[in-house]
Structure 1
Amino acid sequence: MKMGKQRIITTCTRDCPNACGLVASVEDGRLVRLVGDPDHPLTNGIACHKTVKYIDRVYSPERITHPMLRRHGRWERATWNEALDLIAKRIRRIVEESGPEAILYYQGYGERTALKLLHRYFFNLLGGVTTLRGSLCGGAGQGAQNLDFGERVSHDPLDHRNSRSMVLWARNPASTNISLVPIIRDIRKRGGSVIVIDPAHTRSAALADHHIRPKPGHDGYLAMAAAKLILSAGAEDREFINHFSEGYEQFRAILDRHGVAELCAMAGVSTADAVILANTLMAQKPTSILLGWGLHRYENAHHLIRAVDALGAVSGNIGVAGGGVSQGFEEYGPFDQHYWGDTLNPPRRTLLIARVGEELLNATDPKIRMIFVTAANPLCMAPNTAKVTEAFDSAEFVVYSGHFMDDTADHAQVFLPATTFLEEDDVTASYGHNYVGPVNRVIEPVGECRSEFRMFHELAARFPFADRFRRSEEEWLHDLCAPIWAMGCDLPALRRGAFRLDAPMVPYVDKNFPTPSGKFRFMNEFTPSELPRHDPEFPYRLLTIAPHGSICSERTMADHAPLPEIVLNTGEAAENGMIDNDLVLVRSPVGQVRARLKVDPDQRPDVAVAERGGWTKAGHGLNLLTRDMVSAVGQGTPFYETAVAITPCPQEGVMGARILVVRHSPHAPGGVFCKELERLGAILTTVSPLEGDALPQTPDGHEGLVVLGGPQHAFDDEASPHFVPLMRLMREFDAAGRPVAGICLGCQLLARAYGGRTWTMDGLEFGFITHRATTAGMADRVIGSVLPLPPLMEFHEDSFDLPEGAELLVAGDSCVNQCFRVGSNAYGFQFHLEVDSRIADHWITGFRNGEFGNYAVYAEQFGEEFFVAIRERLPVLVAESEAWCRKVVAAWAAAL
């Protein structure tokens, strides 16, 4: 790729309906800017705030950029040939011994582009492996609309500009569909109404004139109430009902079971809410009704969606410009799907993704021996995480293609580093609109990352069917995109910008439906007993909504707060003795997690709302709570069938312990050590003496003390006059039986507090270094419980003599005294066990660039090869260090 400045058009392929057209700015081969493409006909220069943040993801210090194999329980770097040879060898052995169905191919939703069709083609050429069926997202919605329309077809988003009003039914475009926001604002500017219908108080409520909050899973009653009001006003579309529909009499009989007030009560809304909805549909036609993915997340979601479809029909909004009940689009629809290769073999076994843990555990004849995962993080995003984890661990071999050491990567034996969409060429469609867009390579792959197409391309070379698979990207795109080329486009033109598919702006405008009768089908059954019921033991319906700041589990460990937030109605919380910011225990019939409570007076009192996608190992795994079920229609995943209890965390162990943290530098924060203390329930008070904060005079009011690192010399009381009172405080905490932890500078101060001498070494100890536990360390209640030691980060020029009576627990080579215990329960850690990726990256960059003046003289000790090597190894080094630190914190805090 040429150096200098470049402007490259591409398309976002992430799991979002927008599929925004983007413009990437590249300088000297590095991505420096990523913004919306002003020439894209739909997204029109708009891109969400997540787009700008994606640059940090591409260059994240946590990103894995070379293949890895797990050997003896630890990740080791491998070549691509080593990794692919091992995978091919395992595949051949398993197929020979157990047949191809002993392999599960788990293809996720992270990126569904044209070339990713070929992953399944590879496995079908292999003989046909076990795959997945169903959906974690919109399966129930699509299945329900197929019952009514024959085939779900949504209005083109540009047609919403013809709408006089809009209903966002369980849809949150402010966070998940940003290109809709200007259309929403335009409708309101023209005097039209926008209604948000959602049990959760989302950001999109601020975009609307009205926010109606039905009881979760009971939206169908609201739709029926509005339909009755329209019928009672004589405002129904009688022509549509009489000539273009079937089953209306059965639907009318369902409506006649209840009055409007009764339906509203069952929906959990006021009659006024139903009147607002009905009046909008009558007075501000046409109305576009947009269904969100939250509406699909119930076992009997089809009851809700079919009731909304029927409301659209009764109100005269079907087949009308600016109207419609729109749910989504087929992101694989524009491609030649016979290249999936499903016809190459007899029908093969499939597992329900909604119950993938249970299905894997119950799979026999043959048992699943190998799992190959692409574009997914199932140990975070699939329901009932504990069961999914058990199932993955029951397989003998797991291959994971991804970007980060996430929950699923932790349970794999092979890690294949994948490119992002900015490092590959492809074509993408959308499940939110009718445009296909170019995926043009913006930068060269970072490190040794490869596109998944290239992974399978090279893997295929190891099998007899190589000649059928191994073609270039351009050759494959020529064939895969044949339906697009037939519409009047070609690859060179598509490389220049988005192309609109030959799809209707307004579906069903001729009132002809692809049903056996050619007519729209009204809902003809509705069984209230199948809707979610209240359980006094678990009174809150858990709604795990799309996060505003990220897409699904697309984050890093460093991105996570200590605990997830869960939002509850203010009055409901107060009635149960809880206030804002309390630590709470969230329990369901299948699991429990700790969370930080946030209260909201506008939240429904029977729901608990949290953002989904947080990693399990970061303490944010809300799918530890969700039940593994499947929807009655469409094989969707009913995440919202999970009900929870929320109570104050029991006052046991670390919970509520007050910890004093002494910080010496903004460059040396508490990192993982302090984050884990908060996760365990401790309450931290941080003081920075060098910034003017006063140290407390005594340990009173605190159950533990943590002293962090910094660039100061532990022997320099003149420059840091707080050292003397701090060392006294350290001794007093220990004398009172309250644990003390000193890290780096804090470790040296602890040694000095007990009579040890501190001094400057001949050089700087820097980087991740492997140490050894002493005999005393092996027997120690903290260190002995967390062995073996991973490589741990060092950044210090001073050391210390072990004080009298101290036990050396960890020893090093160039700097012997690395960890000791003194007094009753005081621990010194010379190494920086607290570092996360951001801290380590900041230190490595700053030290390399001479930004830390007092350490600049040591730079010549370390050559360029050192910094290249530490950067390449950093993701795994940090992951191992963080996991070890969390164990140390738990063991140390057990004395609180």
Structure 2
Amino acid sequence: MTSSVLSACAFDCPDSCGLVATVEGGRLLGLRGREDHPYTRGFLCPKGSRWVRDLAAPDRLTVPLWRDGAGFRPLSWEEALDRLVRGVESALAHSGHLGVLWATGSGNLLLGNGILDRFPEALGGCTRVRGSLCGGEGGAALKESYALRAHLPPETVLASRRILLWGRNVAVTNPHFVPLLVEARRRGALVGSLDVRTTPTGRFAHRTWTVRPGSDGALARYLARRAFEARGFPDAPGEGGETFLAALRSLGEPEARGATGMGGEDLEDLARFVLDEGPLSLWAGWAVQRSLQGGETLRCLDALVFLLGSQGVPGGGLGFSADDEAAFPADLGRLPGTRPRWIPRPAPGPALLEADPPVEAALFLRANPLSQAQDAGALGRFLETCPFSACFDWRLSVTARACRLVLPVSPFPEQPGDFVLSYWHDLLQRTNPLVPSPVPSERELLLRLGARLGLADPFTEAFGEMERRILATPGLEPLGEGIWRFPHPREHQGPFRFPHLTEAVPAPEGPPGLPWRLVTPHRFGSVNGNDLAQARLRTGRLAAWVGPAALVSRGWKEGDEVVLSARGARLEALLALDPVLPEGVVVVESGVEGLNALIPPALTDRGNNRLSDAWVQVERG
């Protein structure tokens, strides 16, 4: 007999689809979107629907694996747990709790993941990772604009007159946003897309502009200056406006054209689009803030929207990301008296190589840093010498292949009940296991490990307390079975705070010997650099997109073999043509094994990633 199970997608994706599973005899027969989901409205993207295949895929891990000189061999669960315990105990004996690395990521966004952090806390704190591989820099920066920042729901576009997608390729990264944009267009809104390359979103927009990578800050400053010259200060409280405008005086049209590579007509067309009838809603993408001055750039865009009078009005505002941890009681992830050592999540390799006391047992959960982190080569060198490493995963990722022990754990569709809060819309959803799992969940496996280490159960009571406190959140509005509207702030509080700008925007030029700017956009169907295909060694060549000037000036043609190199790392690819790319720019989609070894470990001042600040050499293969 078939039955239906309601749940939600917990992938690291802004849309957080509602799910309806068709189950029979413990098998997942089908998966579709929830028709009553207020945002996704019955549509389920390919990333979610593929679980029907992936849960039963031959590449899925079902037994523990141990890597020795001959490769991986299967272990019994008893032997695997014995090896895990010995590895952790040895690290604790030699280096104390700092000798154990607890490296987590965003393999899923279940709120209960925060409670699992009680495990390293119970050991004393351990060596941990922090900092963002995603939108942390922009999110932290935008919080500085107001005493309390309001959430901008995606439905805002329905009241917008103009919609500017700034580096946000929604057709790939926010597919459920597209129907709202279609309805906004039907109501008369104009949609503009600004990006560094050709995108499907650009083909959907009324207007499309292409800019040189790394020039967002200069362009944001220029447009903010034009907005003030056209309109002055809006009738809304603000602080620091005069100082902000003084920093813009040196950036006129010639400087903006030089930085962005835009022609005069295109630059003026963009300015007219921004300055014309409002309200304007501006939706910034993640790549915009993944740079040294990325947070400042988002603050400048925020100031532009304020100067246009579009902050805090229906149909106006700057949209970037919502706090997907706002519903989680943060104190439940901590224990008193612990002293963790923190290293950067965006680039852990160099810190691990230099750690004192050294890390002797590395544990990776929901994380694939060899695919995602900057300077991935340094992390690879650390794993080659680390006495013990274990990866908890449901498939053999790049990181899992580099670890000594691989422990299969259930992916989120099989995990115990939990919650997920979108970082895009305002819906909190309950997740439920769709089918029984053939392997333990992370929670179950850590409980077994803790028991063997002599630790009391740190999880069970905390999970119950998490549920009680989440469901008691003031203002939580039930919308359907397992769906609530979360009470994000609805209005900005306090005056708008203009950003304090640095003296000048650095010219987008690379270091000596690395003349090509490397752009690594999101790949359709991937999830934060993860794909089941990583269970197999990559075959075939990648595509490296360049512009026509690069082909003509070097006598290259599409399909030629090239090598991208930097920092002692190499990546082979086949040339492809993107007609809008300027000279000196190469595009390779993210999530590719070996790609992030080309990217240096530099971080923002807040300790977040700088994936957009990468330069390489490109030569014929």
Q: TM-score with structure 2 length normalisation?
A: 0.94
Q: Secondary structure at the match of 1:459?
A: helix
Q: Confirm or deny that 1:170 pairs with 2:189.
A: no
Q: Secondary structure at the match of 1:548?
A: coil
Corresponding residue number in structure 2 for 1:277: 270
Whether the aligned pair in 1 keeps the contact of 2:222 and 2:256 (CA below 8 Å) is: yes
Corresponding residue number in structure 1 for 2:430: 438
The structural deviation recorded for 1:329 is 1.5
Corresponding residue number in structure 2 for 1:487: 474
Give a deviation string over 1:83-119, Cα, whole Å, max 9, x none: 2233233323322332101111000111121221122
Pairing partner for 1:527 from 486, 499, 503: 503
Distance 1:106 1:463 in 2: 19
Distance 1:495 1:402 in 2: 32
Q: Confirm or deny that 1:307 pairs with 2:308.
A: no
Pairing partner for 2:463 from 476, 482, 491: 476
The structural deviation recorded for 1:478 is 4.2
Distance 1:534 1:369 in 2: 37
Which stretch of structure 1 is more off in the superposition, 45-54 or 562-571?
Answer: 45-54
Structure 1 residues 561, 498: CA separation in 2 closer, same or farther (over 3 Å shift)?
farther
The structural deviation recorded for 1:282 is 3.4
For 1:598, give the aligned amino acid. Answer: A
Q: Work out which structure has the larger RCO, using CA pairs closer than 8 Å and 6 or more positions apart in sequence.
A: 2
Whether the aligned pair in 2 keeps the contact of 1:222 and 1:263 (CA below 8 Å) is: yes
Q: How does 1:747-766 map to 2 (within 5 A)?
A: none
Q: Confirm or deny that 1:606 pairs with 2:584.
A: yes
The structural deviation recorded for 1:376 is 1.1
The structural deviation recorded for 1:149 is 2.8
Distance 1:152 1:579 in 2: 49
Structure 1 residues 426, 589: CA separation in 2 closer, same or farther (over 3 Å shift)?
same
Corresponding residue number in structure 2 for 1:795: none
Structure 1 residues 498, 407: CA separation in 2 closer, same or farther (over 3 Å shift)?
same
Q: Confirm or deny that 1:43 pairs with 2:36.
A: no
Q: Confirm or deny that 1:298 pairs with 2:282.
A: no
Q: Confirm or deny that 1:622 pairs with 2:615.
A: no
Structure 1 residues 635, 154: CA separation in 2 closer, same or farther (over 3 Å shift)?
farther
Identity across the alignment (%): 28
Whether the aligned pair in 1 keeps the contact of 2:479 and 2:485 (CA below 8 Å) is: no
Corresponding residue number in structure 2 for 1:582: 560
Q: Confirm or deny that 1:547 pairs with 2:519.
A: no
The structural deviation recorded for 1:560 is 4.8
Give a deviation string over 1:790-814, Cα, whole Å, max 9, x none: xxxxxxxxxxxxxxxxxxxxxxxxx
Pairing partner for 2:327 from 325, 329, 334: 334
Q: Confirm or deny that 1:636 pairs with 2:608.
A: yes
Pairing partner for 2:549 from 559, 565, 571: 571
Corresponding residue number in structure 2 for 1:190: 187
Q: Confirm or deny that 1:406 pairs with 2:397.
A: yes
Q: Confirm or deny that 1:268 pairs with 2:261.
A: yes
Q: Confirm or deny that 1:216 pairs with 2:189.
A: no
Structure 1 residues 230, 94: CA separation in 2 closer, same or farther (over 3 Å shift)?
closer
Whether the aligned pair in 2 keeps the contact of 1:153 and 1:329 (CA below 8 Å) is: no
Structure 1 residues 262, 93: CA separation in 2 closer, same or farther (over 3 Å shift)?
closer
Distance 1:526 1:534 in 2: 20
Gaps of 5+ in 1: 514-518, 650-896
The structural deviation recorded for 1:590 is 4.3
Structure 1 residues 376, 221: CA separation in 2 closer, same or farther (over 3 Å shift)?
same
Distance 1:480 1:275 in 2: 53
For 2:543, give the aligned amino acid. Answer: E
Q: Confirm or deny that 1:325 pairs with 2:318.
A: yes
Structure 1 residues 273, 223: CA separation in 2 closer, same or farther (over 3 Å shift)?
farther
Give a deviation string over 1:830-884, Cα, whole Å, max 9, x none: xxxxxxxxxxxxxxxxxxxxxxxxxxxxxxxxxxxxxxxxxxxxxxxxxxxxxxx
Whether the aligned pair in 1 keeps the contact of 2:217 and 2:505 (CA below 8 Å) is: no
Structure 1 residues 469, 229: CA separation in 2 closer, same or farther (over 3 Å shift)?
closer
Which stretch of structure 1 is more off in the superposition, 459-468 or 385-394?
Answer: 459-468
Q: Secondary structure at the match of 2:519?
A: strand
Distance 2:117 2:457 in 1: 16
Pairing partner for 1:249 from 242, 246, 264: 242
Corresponding residue number in structure 1 for 2:481: 496
Calculate the aligned-residue CA RMSD, in Å.
2.3
- Paired residues in the alignment total 618
Whether the aligned pair in 2 keeps the contact of 1:94 and 1:100 (CA below 8 Å) is: yes
Give a deviation string over 1:807-826, Cα, whole Å, max 9, x none: xxxxxxxxxxxxxxxxxxxx
Bigger radius of gyration = 1
Corresponding residue number in structure 1 for 2:619: 647
Q: Secondary structure at the match of 1:99?
A: helix
The structural deviation recorded for 1:495 is 8.9
Structure 1 residues 374, 489: CA separation in 2 closer, same or farther (over 3 Å shift)?
same
Structure 1 residues 606, 197: CA separation in 2 closer, same or farther (over 3 Å shift)?
farther
Q: Secondary structure at the match of 1:523?
A: coil
Gaps of 5+ in 2: none
Q: Confirm or deny that 1:562 pairs with 2:549.
A: no
Give a deviation string over 1:302-349, Cα, whole Å, max 9, x none: 2322221111111112122221112212222101111111x5224321
Q: TM-score with structure 1 length normalisation?
A: 0.66
Whether the aligned pair in 2 keeps the contact of 1:217 and 1:304 (CA below 8 Å) is: no
Structure 1 residues 265, 477: CA separation in 2 closer, same or farther (over 3 Å shift)?
farther
Structure 1 residues 494, 357: CA separation in 2 closer, same or farther (over 3 Å shift)?
farther
Corresponding residue number in structure 2 for 1:139: 136
Distance 2:471 2:563 in 1: 52
Distance 2:256 2:549 in 1: 26
For 1:563, give the aligned amino acid. Answer: R
Distance 2:268 2:444 in 1: 57
For 2:426, give the aligned amino acid. Answer: N
Distance 2:497 2:568 in 1: 38
